[in-house]
Amino acid sequence: MNFTSPRRLPWLLLISALVMLTDHLSKTWVTTHIHLGGAIPILPGILRITHWTNEGAAFSLFANSASPDMVRWGLIGFSLLAALVVFVAMFRLGSRFTLTTVALALIFGGALGNVHDRIAYGSVVDFIEVHIFRYHWPDFNVADSAIVTGACLLLLDSLWPKDEDEGDEEEDDEEEED
């Protein structure tokens, strides 16, 4: 069996690391410059930078649970399992840059960014608040944005028509290596 590690995996991991770094730096800036519950208007009536913590899942789901420690460790366990599955998929598909592999790198970085906060601080800092007309989107952060962007890219890629020659290109790449 001729096994070579995926050539693009380091670059995909770099994308994940940049997501994690950007997420961490932005949350650090918010926590040091905006008091909890405070906000800085960016586009009045549309976009504010806020400072909230979220002990629950997306949209503060389970945040008011009677067992907050169980929720925290359940979310950590689920996030780590999901990150492992995404990493394995990224490793298996990581020989080329595709919409799928970039999406997986975004999801991986976002998942690890939020799980880091849950382990280290017990909650996640959310700070981007968006209002569109009368609709208020729940506050979110860079990691959440990366996860959602990655999921949208996966959906887009699944709807995109596939070329029948795509598999042949992969075989050609492998033959060039020999």
* Dihedrals phi, psi of 37, to nearest 5 degrees: 90, -10
Catalytic residue among 144, 168, 172, 178: 144
Catalytic residue among 23, 117, 126, 139: 126
Give yes or no: 126 in active site.
Answer: yes
Residues assigned a catalytic role: 126, 144
